[in-house]
Amino acid sequence: MGFTTRLRPLTVSLLLFSATAIQAEIPSPDSDESIAKGSELYMHFCTECHGKDGRALMDVISDATDLTDPDVYYNGSTREDIYRSISDGAGVGMPPWKTQLSDEQDIWHLVNFIRSLWTEEQRSAQ
């Protein structure tokens, strides 16, 4: 009895801690701060194949997806689909990034940045 009572405050704070941690893993899609971080990561890791504007049209080597148009995505365009494509890679030419971007938050920032390239209508359709 005494043992359980002593443990309880710790359990409660652990629960609160993990609830906060889970919430923190998915930044809000409309957060300007998250989009800005995603943009920075994108400029660093992704332009080589998808181009600076995400259209994959200019100075691009591989057959990368035009990220500005969710209708042409091969692997789905929900937030979860995009997360998975970035984390695990996609098709033949899209490398998995989960090792280099080991902080899940960074992948969500990229998802948010990519969605910021779409029209309002395209965003609300997903």
Residues in CB range of 60: below 8 A, 6 or more apart: 48, 49, 50, 51
What's the min distance (Å) between Cβ of 57 and ligand HEC? 13
SS (H, E, C) 51-120: CCCCCCCCCCCCCCCCCCCHHHCCCCCCHHHHHHHHHHCECCCECCCCCCCCCHHHHHHHHHHHHHCCCH
Out of 35, 110, 112, 115, the only residue in the binding site for ligand HEC (CB under 6 A) is 110
What is the C-alpha to C-alpha distance for residues 7 and 12, in angstroms, rounded to an integer?
Answer: 9
Q: According to the binding rule CB under 6 A, does residue 105 interact with ligand HEC?
A: no
Out of 91, 98, 119, 125, the only residue in the binding site for ligand HEC (CB under 6 A) is 91
Query: Interface with ligand HEC by CB under 6 A: which range of 6-14, 25-33, 72-80, 115-123?
Result: 72-80
Q: According to the binding rule CB under 6 A, does residue 78 interact with ligand HEC?
A: no
What residues make contact with ligand HEC under the rule CB under 6 A?
A: 42, 45-46, 48-50, 62-65, 73-75, 82, 85-86, 90-91, 93-95, 97, 110, 114
